[in-house]
Amino acid sequence: MKNLLGCVLALTSCTTLANWGVTGDITNMRIEKQNAQIVTAGVSFDIPTDFQSIKIVPILRFGTGINSFGYTETEDGKPVLAKDGKPVRHNISVDYFAALSIRSTYQATEAFSIFVQPTYARTIGDVKQVGTKNKASYQANDNGFGIGFGYKVDQHSNIEISYEDFDEMSLVNLSYRYIF
């Protein structure tokens, strides 16, 4: 019991949590010229460097889709038609999203920061053909690169906006980050 209490106290002490952060994102995902929204939560850790205004921030995010989106199947720029003569449409849903980013942040002023980040992302979801029972799962593993800006609201809170470009998708993120 004493060991358990000691561990709990160590985990909740300010020095143990220093430089750790939690992140919540609302993300617009663009795939196949169509948009979907996902919500993610993540953890981060600020690693100071020898340069006072630059730090390295690994961020691990997990999320899921909050809506599905549809697109019309095309071939050579023309819609593919089903047997009934209507265009073949698909709905895509995002079931799982995970991303690991290694962010390099430059604190331009007391309140504003600029960052770049390479990211590895994994997306899992379903594609369903509208009007049929045809359904397939998809998985995408992508490497991407992002850029963004942050605004320090107070000593512990940042609001950030970023753009990330991948092979098969692009993301626009609006984030709230709380740093312990």
pLDDT band at 5 (very low <50, low <70, confident <90, very high): very low
Strand 69-72, strand 54-65: pairing: unpaired
Residue 15 pLDDT > 50: no
SS3 per residue for 74-93: EECCEECECCCCCECEEEEE
Evaluate whether 34 touches 77 at the Cβ level (below 8 Å).
no
Evaluate whether 16 touches 7 at the Cβ level (below 8 Å).
no
Would you state the pLDDT for residue 3? 54
- The alpha carbons of the chain give a radius of gyration, in whole angstroms, of 21
pTM over 0.85: no
The one-letter code for the residue type at 101 is: S
Would you state the pLDDT for residue 127? 85
CA distances, 6 to each of 2, 10, 11, 131, 180 (Å): 6, 6, 9, 59, 20
| pLDDT per position as a tens digit, 90-136 | 888 889 999 999 999 999 999 999 999 999 999 999 888 887 888 89
| pLDDT per position as a tens digit, 61-100 | 999 988 877 878 788 888 888 888 888 888 888 899 999 9
84 contact partners, CB below 8 Å, separation of at least 6: none
Distance CA 131, CA 129 (A): 6
